[in-house]
Each structure stands twice: as C-alpha cells, then as structure tokens.
Structure 1
C-alpha cells in the first residue's frame, strides 16, 4: 500500500502557501496527496508541481454539488493530474433521512461519466452512514447494495466506522473487492464529541486496520486528521513517523 495524506488536514497551511505546503509534505515522506481543493492552480500547473516534488495524485474529494454542476470539468482535472479516484466526501442533511434513496439514484446517474474516462467514483463515509439506517440496515450497507460495484467504490474512513460502534476490520473485509482507499486516522471519544488525534494517540486499532487493508490489496492508506491540536504539519509529521515506527513490517510505500 502507498502512503498519502488527505490535504484537508493541512488546509490552514495550504491557504497560506499551497505549493510550499506540498513541498513540506514531500519532505516528510508522503508519497501521495488526496486533494480537497486545488489552490487556484490549473491542472497543468498542479501536475508540474507534483512531478517536481515526486508526489502522486492519489485522488480528490469533490462535493456532490460540484459533480452535479460540472462533472466533466472535475473529471478532466483529475485525469490531467494523473489521479484515478474521485470521492464524494460528505453529504448534507438534504440527502439524508428519507432522501437516502434519492442520493443512491443520483450517484448512479453521475458515476458513468467518471467510469467512461477511467476514473473510479468512491464514497467517503462518516459515522452517520452507520448510525442511520434505511431499508432496515445501516445506510452505508444499503448504498453498497443499491449501487453496483462497477459504478461505486468505497473510500472507507475506518476511524468513523469505529466511532459509530462497528468493526473497521469487518467492513474492510466485507467490501474488500471495492475498497481502493482507506482513510487512516485516530480518535478519542469525549463528552463534547469526537476528538481526532495524531496516529497512535487515540483508541482506534490502527495496526489491525492496516493489516486488513493490506490483505484486501487496498491501493492507498491515507492519513487524515479532521482537526489538529498542534500545528497541522507537525501533526502529519508525527503521524507518518508513527507509521514508520509501528508498521515497519507492512512494506508500505513512502516517498523515496
């Protein structure tokens, strides 16, 4: 598995200096980046910077609204920077509850345009797709049943599966045939809600998740921390060091 980082984690640094932040990520040893915006760079400019830094475009988080309004442009950008995956990162209340079936049908309509260009559409979960149900089962399972694997793959956020009270390893095994990306993060439960923390500082069984993901031949293990208690670049530095110290037997692929 290749090791990357979801750039939402360092969004504060990207706002100040997008390319400079990519340079620091490369220096830390991350092989890939998953986008959550492009900092105003054209696809040609982005590809040039990635090539210069030896970074790989792992994929991109693209809102459902953007896909509904300009799927062609989003797909073209992803192709031109060399990525293979577009992930729907989050859906608002307007798509939940009684509207889950409408979401499933909407994804079915969007996915063929991506597939036709060699891009895989993925869905990134939070906890609510597991704590909420439709058709008597967790929404995430209903989605995977309703939408054929040829149209939709899963970017499993293992941390949110854990936080929802389910086994991330079981979900990795269950959807092993359609799981190219696993989001790798840690969390502490507290009275105020979840606190995302650096790898190894929370309660998630990260080693078991990494082992399960490797067995299923997931392509990417992507570090993500929704909110950092320390400066965000320091946090992703500590997280990748934890991986190197604790997952050394997994033959993970870092930037050379």
Structure 2
C-alpha cells in the first residue's frame, strides 16, 4: 500500500505575500508538497522555480472549470512542467450550477468527457466538493450522486473536502466509504466549535476543532485516498496554522 502524502493547499497561505514567500513558509512548516491554484499555473516558470528552490513537490492543483473549457492545453503544459499529476475542479460557482437534476447530470457528463481527455494527456482529473450536492435532495437524490452517475465509465475521481461535507452531512464517513471507488484525495481542515473564531469563518487549525480526524483519516485511507491536502479557508495566522496542523497530522503518517 502506498504511504499517504501530506500536502498544503496554497490558498491557506495567501495572506503571507507572494508565491515565493508562501512556498518558503510551507516548507518551513514541515510540508514537502503543496497544492497550487489556477493563478499559479498561469506562470508555470515561477511556480516551477519556487518548487525547486524550496524542495517541494506539487502532486496536485486546482483549476476552475471555465479555465479548463477555454485553456485546457495551457494547464496541461503547466502540469507537465511542474510535475502535477492530479488536477481538481472545485465545485462551480452557483451561477454555473443550479440545483436541478439536469444540471448535475450535465456537469457530470462534461467532467467525465474532460477526464477522458486529461487521461490521454497523462493527468488525472477530479471533482472537489463544497456543500452543494450534499445539502438537499432533488427528487430524493443528492446532486453529488447524480453527477457521478452521469460520469460513470469515465476516469473522473473525487477529492473529498471532508469539512465541507461534514457541514452538510452528519455521516461523512459513510459517503467516503460509499464512493471509495473514485476517492483519491482528501482536503483536511477542521471546523471550530460554534461561536468560536468568527473572523476565521468557523474554521480551525487541524486537530483543534470538532472533527474527529483520527477516524476520518482512517476511513479515507481505507477507502483509497493517498493525498491529504491540509487547508484553512481563512486563517488569521497562516504559518502558525500550517505548522500546528502539520505537527498534529504527521503522527498519522508513522
């Protein structure tokens, strides 16, 4: 069994300054890998140089669906240059995804087709969830279910943002187990107790919140996840968040 890898989503480090500073601080917090964003891939030379300078890998990245529709080859080339093998599409903005059965089926079909094209380019394409698709049913079905049914037979995979999933569903582990066949990666973040840290949008350093990460981690590993990407959507102290979260999670790697 391949050993799980810890990575750091660079969105969490945006408050520290430019990309060079973010990468330096990510390495300083203990990480050996990071997850860049669409904007970073638009200047692959700078990203590649920063990764090399700090001894970091970038096994995955996030790119919006609209960008892949219009500039797919540009991002394929950037991924190849920077050694990125997995590309995840965050859930489209509400204007691009209405909560209807047909809309979820359309997005599933489109992502399935894109994943076939990306596989031919040597890149794994996946979907990254928020709460949409889990927060209400459509005729008794969840949008997430409808999407992956429409993509069936394609190589589309799932990067589970477990904290967003847990905000919508009390049974996150059941969803992880149910979709083990497509699960490859997990976003690891923690939810603060109610009424705590409102300026951090209700998130917390991993291990200091209310999510039971030992059991969530085990469930994700058993279900096939190997890339665990640490994230905080709005950290007040980004470096401290990264360092403390890494110290907490590194025990799971032994």
TM-score category (smaller protein): 0.7 to 0.9
Unaligned runs of 5+ in 1: 252-256
Count of matched residue pairs: 245
Given candidates 151, 164, 169, the residue that maps to 1:165 is: 169
Q: Show the counterpart of 1:148.
A: 152
Q: Show the counterpart of 1:60.
A: 61
In the superposition, the TM-score normalised over structure 1's length comes to 0.87
Greater than 6 Å deviation, 4+ residue runs: none
Task: Provide, for residues 56-77 of structure 1, a one-character-per-residue CA deviation record: whole Å limited to 9, x for no partner.
Answer: 1121110111011111111221
Q: Is the 8 A contact 1:155 1:181 kept in 2?
A: yes
Moved more, 35-44 or 138-147: 35-44
**CA 93–45 in structure 1, closer or farther in 2 if over 3 Å, else same:** closer
Q: Is the 8 A contact 2:13 2:239 kept in 1?
A: yes
Partner Cα distance (2:44, 2:64) in 1: 18
**CA 156–73 in structure 1, closer or farther in 2 if over 3 Å, else same:** same
Q: Show the counterpart of 2:99.
A: 97
* Alignment RMSD (CA, Å): 2.2
SS in 1 for 2:173: helix
The answer as to 2:237 corresponding to 1:235 is no
Q: Alpha-carbon deviation of 1:19?
A: 1.0
SS in 2 for 1:222: strand
Give the 5 Å matches for 1:164-243.
Answer: 164-188=168-192, 190=194, 195-228=202-235, 230-243=236-249
SS in 1 for 2:229: strand
Q: Show the counterpart of 1:3.
A: 6
Given candidates 15, 19, 28, the residue that maps to 1:12 is: 15
Q: Is the 8 A contact 1:64 1:91 kept in 2?
A: yes
Task: Provide, for residues 153-211 of structure 1, a one-character-per-residue CA deviation record: whole Å limited to 9, x for no partner.
Answer: 00001111111123222222112222111111111364789611111222111111111
Unaligned runs of 5+ in 2: none
Q: Show the counterpart of 2:24.
A: 23
SS in 2 for 1:130: coil
Q: Show the counterpart of 1:254.
A: none
SS in 2 for 1:154: strand
SS in 2 for 1:97: coil
Give the 5 Å matches for 1:42-121.
Answer: 42-94=43-95, 95-98=97-100, 99-121=103-125
Partner Cα distance (1:127, 1:194) in 2: 15
